[in-house]
Structure 1
Amino acid sequence: MIRRLWRFLQPYWLTLIRPSTSLSLGLLVVCGFIAGIIFWGGFNTALELTNTERFCVSCHEMRDNVFAELKDTIHYTNRSGVRATCPDCHVPHNWTDKIARKMQASKEVWGKIFGTINTREKFVAMRLELAQHEWVRLKANNSLECRNCHSADSMDLTKQSERAAIMHSRHLFPGEKTCIDCHKGIAHRLPNMAGVPGWN
């Protein structure tokens, strides 16, 4: 069987590795360069299209569950008019981190394909697990997505509540904790937190 497959593929392989008799090396290099630019442009365009709120809420699982919840938070509507969209919080801005996150998110597509969270009931049942994945990710990267907009250096503690100022001074500034340690549920409803370590 392998021999038959090799006989079938051999002419194509020989054509691929044999030097061109009619095209110059320069033309092949230029064509390869142009093809590379087209591929790279297409890849980046597709990547950026998947980094939009419109893309994120194009499936009903996100639109009807977490996006609907986001609309009731300060990250969606606020006095300054600054809105955090899905990719602002769930996709790193740095290119290499973004690619790593996209690869990780490709696993999440299985949930869509196999209907893991295709109803409200299934979503609610999986909510704690889904939230914990995000909390672990944010904890591991020191709440990078939060820090893309919020800077500890720019915080004016005098404009914060007394409790917030104390907590930020005591835990955030020294690096003992990161944003997600205290701000779980800031943009989405919390799941049932029974049994979650450090949660009262």
Structure 2
Amino acid sequence: MAKLKALFLWGWNWVLWFWRIISRPSAYLSLGFLTIGGFICGVLFWGGFNTALEVTNTEKFCTSCHEMRDNVYQELTQTVHFSNRSGVRATCPDCHVPHEWTDKIARKMQASKEVWGKIFGTISTRQKFLDHRLELA
């Protein structure tokens, strides 16, 4: 308990120190430099965020965990969505990720529940997957 309290106090002192640094006016850097630097950092953050968002919208990412690869993906390979006369395949994000940006972000936040299930083994076996299938759908 004492270690936890010490860790909390260290973290709180760090937050206070950081707040004191960023809340004071800059003595050495101009407002223009800080504005341009903030803009560049914002563009880099937005680019990285969008890149990560697009990477998580691929079938390769969807089937990267064994729960999806061993259960749902195997079922998909047997359907017309996977192989049909026209040769056009439907991938996971086509149906399971909304196309509007705000809806997509909301769905990604909901998907954090699935990550939680992955970490704690909620659907680690075929039987567990079948038991939770309706709430996952």
TM-score normalised by structure 2 residue count: 0.85
**Structure 1 stretches of 5 or more lacking a match?**
132-200
Distance 1:16 1:120, change over 3 A: same
Q: 2:71 aligns with which of 61, 65, 69?
A: 65
Amino acid in the other structure paired with 1:98: K
Write 1 or 2 for the structure with the bigger share of helix. Answer: 2
Task: Name 2:101's counterpart in structure 1.
Answer: 95
Q: Deviations over 1:108-132 (max 9, x none)?
A: 111101111111111122223323x
The CA deviation at 1:81 is 1.0
Moved over 4 A (4+): 4-11
Q: 2:57 aligns with which of 40, 51, 54?
A: 51
Equivalent-residue separation in structure 2 for 1:36 and 1:109 (angstroms): 27
The CA deviation at 1:56 is 0.4
Task: Name 2:80's counterpart in structure 1.
Answer: 74
Q: Deviations over 1:128-175 (max 9, x none)?
A: 3323xxxxxxxxxxxxxxxxxxxxxxxxxxxxxxxxxxxxxxxxxxxx
Equivalent-residue separation in structure 2 for 1:52 and 1:129 (angstroms): 23
Distance 1:110 1:7, change over 3 A: closer
SS in structure 2 opposite 1:124?
A: helix
Distance 1:25 1:123, change over 3 A: same
Equivalent-residue separation in structure 2 for 1:8 and 1:87 (angstroms): 41
The CA deviation at 1:13 is 2.8
Task: Name 1:24's counterpart in structure 2.
Answer: 30
Equivalent-residue separation in structure 2 for 1:56 and 1:95 (angstroms): 19
**Larger RCO of the pair (alpha carbons < 8 Å, separation 6+):** 1
Aligned-residue CA RMSD (Å): 2.0
Distance 1:36 1:119, change over 3 A: same
Distance 1:24 1:116, change over 3 A: same
List aligned pairs for 1:110-149, cutoff 5 A.
110-131=116-137
The CA deviation at 1:21 is 1.3
Distance 1:79 1:20, change over 3 A: same
Distance 1:122 1:11, change over 3 A: closer
